[in-house]
Amino acid sequence: MPNGNQFGVIHHISRAGAQKASIITPLYQVSMNALNIFVRRIAQIEEITGVRVVSCAAGLVTFPLFTEGPEAMRFIDLSKDEMLESQALAREMLAVTTYLNYSSKTVLESADVDDK
Q: Which regions in the chain score pLDDT beneath 50?
A: 1, 116
pLDDT for the residue 114: 57
Cα separation, 102 vs 108, whole angstroms: 9
Distant-in-sequence, close-in-space partners of 113: CB < 8 Å, separation ≥ 6: 82, 83, 84, 85, 88
Per the structure, the complete domain to which residue 79 belongs is given by: 8-109
| 18: in domain | yes
Domain tally, the chain: 1
| 1: in domain | no
Cα separation, 15 vs 29, whole angstroms: 8
pTM: 0.75
Residues 70, 72, 74, 77, CA torsion sign: negative
What CATH number is given to the structural domain containing 23?
3.40.50.720
| 69: in domain | yes
pLDDT for the residue 41: 93
pLDDT for the residue 69: 77
pLDDT for the residue 1: 47
pLDDT for the residue 98: 92
